[in-house]
Chains A and B, each alone.
Chain A
Amino acid sequence: MSAVTTNSTSHALDYRAGVARRLAILLSLTGLLVLSVAVDVSLGPARYPLGDVFRTIFAPGAAELQMRVVIWDIRMPMALLAVTVGASLSLAGAQMQTILANPLASPFTLGLSAAASFGAAMAMVLGVALFPAAVELMVPLNAFAMAMAASLLIFGLSTLRGVTVETIVLLGIALVFTFNAALALMQYFASEQALAAVVFWTMGSLTKATWGKVAVTAAILLVCTPLFARRAWALTAIRLGETRAAAMGVPVRRLRLEALLLVSLLAAVPVAFVGTIGFIGIVGPHVARLLLGEDQRFFLPGAMLSGAVILSATSVLSKAILPGAVLPIGIITALVGVPFFAALILTKGRKSW
C-alpha cells in the first residue's frame, strides 16, 4: 500500500513539475518579447541605446523632444503592431489547426490572405471602395471585407450537414488559387504605379503602423482570447479526435463554428493592416506546440507569445540586415523563418502530427 501511495504522489508531483516548467517557458517567452520590442524600438535610421529607449518609454516627459517623437509616434506603433499582429495571426492559426485537425491550416493556407490581397488590389488598381464612406481607408477596409467574406464562406460551408474538416481545408485551398488568379489578372491590367503598390502591399509591411491600428488589433485580441480560454478544455479534447471529444461531452460542431467565427475576426483585421505575412500562422503554433504541448491552458498563451516574438524579431531583422533600409517583413519571415522552422521540427518533432 505504501508503495502505491508514493507512486501516486509522484505522478501528481510530476504533473506539478510539468506545470511549473511550462509556466517558466511562458515567462521566458514574455521576457524575450519585451527585449525584442525594446531592440525593435531602438533600431532605425538613428540607433538609440537600449537604456535611452527604456527611459523614453517609461518617463517620456524627461526625454528630449526629437527622441520622444521618433520613439512614441513612429517606432512604438510599429513595434507593438508586430506584437499584436504576430499574436493574432498565430492564435488564429493555432485554433484553425485545432478545430480543423490539420497542421497546415492557417489564415494563409485557407485563403484569407489571398482574399485580403485581392481586396486591397481592388482599391489600388481599380479604385473600387467597398465602403465608399471611408475612401481614405479603402485599402485596409477592402482587404478586411474580402478576408471576412472568404472566412464567412468557409464558415457557411462548415455549417452544412455532412461537411468534414477535409472539405473545409480543400475549399480553403481552392480559395487561395481563385483569389491569386483574380489578383494576377488585375495586376496584368494594372498601371505601372498601381502594380508597384500592389506588389509592395502583398509583401507585407509594418511601416504603415499607427496607434489606431495597434488599438484595434489589441482590442480584438482582448475580446477573443478569453472566449478561447473559457473553452480551453474542450479545445484540447478536440485534438484527441472528434469521437473522443464527443464522448467527453464536447459539443464538437458548435465549438468548431464558434471557433471559426472568432478566428475569422482574429485573422482578417491584421491581414488587412499589414498585408501578406503568411508564415506566422503556421510557425507560431508549431513552435508553441513543440515547447508546451497541446494543453490549451499553455498552448493558447504560448501560441500568442511565440507568434508575437517571431514577428517582433523579424521586424528587428528587417531593419538590421540592410542598415538604413526596412525590408518587407513578409519576405524576411519566409527567408529566415523557414530554415529555422525546418530545423526545429526535424530535430524535435513529436509524433502527434
Chain B
Amino acid sequence: MVSLALEGVEARYGRKQILTDASTPEIEGGMLTALVGANAAGKSTLFRRIAGQLRGAGRVRLSGAEAGDLRYMPQDTAMSAALTVYESIILALKQGTGGWRLSPRELAAVDAVLHRFGIDHLAQRQLPELSGGQRQSVSIAQTLVTRPKLVLMDEPTSALDLYRQYEVLEALRRYAEETGAVVILALHDLNQVMRACTTTLALAEGRILATGPTLEVLTPALIRRLYGIDSRVERCSRGCPMMIVDGPAPHPPGQQVGT
C-alpha cells in the first residue's frame, strides 16, 4: 500500500512565504483524501511543492511508490493544440519514453481511461473544440492514464455539472480502491468532500490545521475558522452526510478570504 506524509514542508514564491510548516500524519492510499481551505490558502502551492515544481525546506515522505509515480493535475485546464483528445492522452502516456510506436497494450490503456471517465465519445474531437467541463474530464484522463500511485488533483470537479461531479468522484474513488494509490483532491464543495472523501486535510495559515476522517475534521467550528461560514451537518434522505449553510458567521475571522 502506498502512503504519503509531510514533515514541516515550506514553500515560497520569491520572498513571499506561503507554507510555513505543513505536516501530516501518514496519508493512506486506497481511498480519496480531500484538501480544503479558503482561496489563496495555498492548496495549489502545496501540490506544486509535493510535485517538486517548487522547492523549500521540509520533507515529503513517500512509501510504496517512487517520485516518478506521481501525477499532478493543475487547476488550470486550458489546452489548445491541433490534437485530438485521443492523441493528447497518448501524449500523457508516452511522456518520458523515447519510443514513437504504440503497443496494443498502450492503446488499450488509453481506451480504458477514456471509458473509465465516460469520455469515449470525445476521443476523436479536437482539443480546442471542447467545452470547459469536457476539457476537465480529458485532463483527468491524461493524469491517470499512466496509473500513477500518487495523484494530486487541483479542483478536478470545478467545471463539471452535478451528475458528472458524482460520476467522476465515484470513478476516482474506484481508481484509488483498485490501485491502492494515494489520491488527494483539492475541493471547494464540502458536500462533495463529505460524500466522496474518507480523509480530509484542512489548510490555513500556511499549515495543515487538521487531518483525519472527514466528518471529524469538518466540524462547524473548523468550517467557521476556514471560511467564516456558519453551518451544520445533516443527513440526506439516503443517509449521506451533508452540510447546510446557515450564512456568514457574525464575527468574521482575522483571515480575509481572497487575499
Contacts and interface: CB of A to CB of B under 8 A. Distances in A.
Given A234-B95, A241-B80, A14 B86 contact: yes
A328 B67 CA distance: 56
B107 A233 contact: no
B88 A293 contact: no
B74 A247 contact: yes
B171 to A, nearest CB: 15
B126 interface: yes
A128 to B, nearest CB: 44
Contacts of B82: 289, 293-294, 350, 352
Interface in A45-69: none
A221 to B, nearest CB: 19
Interface string A146-162: 00000000000000000
B114 A248 contact: no
Nearest to A7: B120
Contact of B96 (A8, A244, A249): A249
Interface string B135-160: 00001001100000000000000000
A319 interface: no
B98 interface: yes
Contacts, number: 106
Contact of A352 (B94, B114, B115, B128): B128
Contacts of B237: none
A11 B86 contact: yes
A246 B96 CA distance: 12
Most B-side CB within 10 Å, residue of A11, A14, A18, A294: A11
A237 interface: yes
Contact of A293 (B80, B83, B95, B114): B83
Nearest to A351: B128
B79 A240 contact: yes
Nearest to B70: A249
Contact of A230 (B98, B110, B111, B128): B98
Given A241-B79, A244-B79, A351 B126 contact: yes
A248 B95 contact: yes
A103 to B, nearest CB: 11
Residue of B51, B53, B80 with most chain A CB atoms under a 10 A cut-off: B80
Contacts of B86: 11, 14-15
A291 to B, nearest CB: 10
A289 B126 CA distance: 14
Nearest to A237: B91
Contacts of A353: 80
B53 A246 contact: yes
Contact of A250 (B80, B88, B95, B115): B95
B111 A247 contact: no
A8 B126 contact: no
A350 B126 contact: yes
Given A230-B98, A248-B142, A11 B83 contact: no
Contacts of A294: 81-83
B81 A11 contact: no
A297 interface: yes
Contacts of B127: 240, 352
A25 to B, nearest CB: 14
Nearest to B154: A247
A288 B130 CA distance: 23
A241 B91 CA distance: 13
Interface in A223-280: 230, 232-234, 236-237, 239-241, 243-244, 246-250
Given A243-B76, A244-B79, A293-B83, 20 more contacts: A8-B120, A11-B114, A12-B107, A12-B111, A15-B90, A230-B98, A232-B100, A233-B94, A233-B96, A241-B78, A244-B74, A244-B78, A247-B51, A247-B143, A248-B91, A248-B95, A294-B83, A351-B129, A352-B126, A353-B80
11 contacts: A11-B110, A15-B87, A236-B81, A240-B79, A240-B91, A247-B72, A247-B143, A295-B87, A350-B82, A351-B128, A352-B127
Interface of A: 4, 7-9, 11-12, 14-15, 18, 230, 232-234, 236-237, 239-241, 243-244, 246-250, 289, 293-295, 297, 350-353
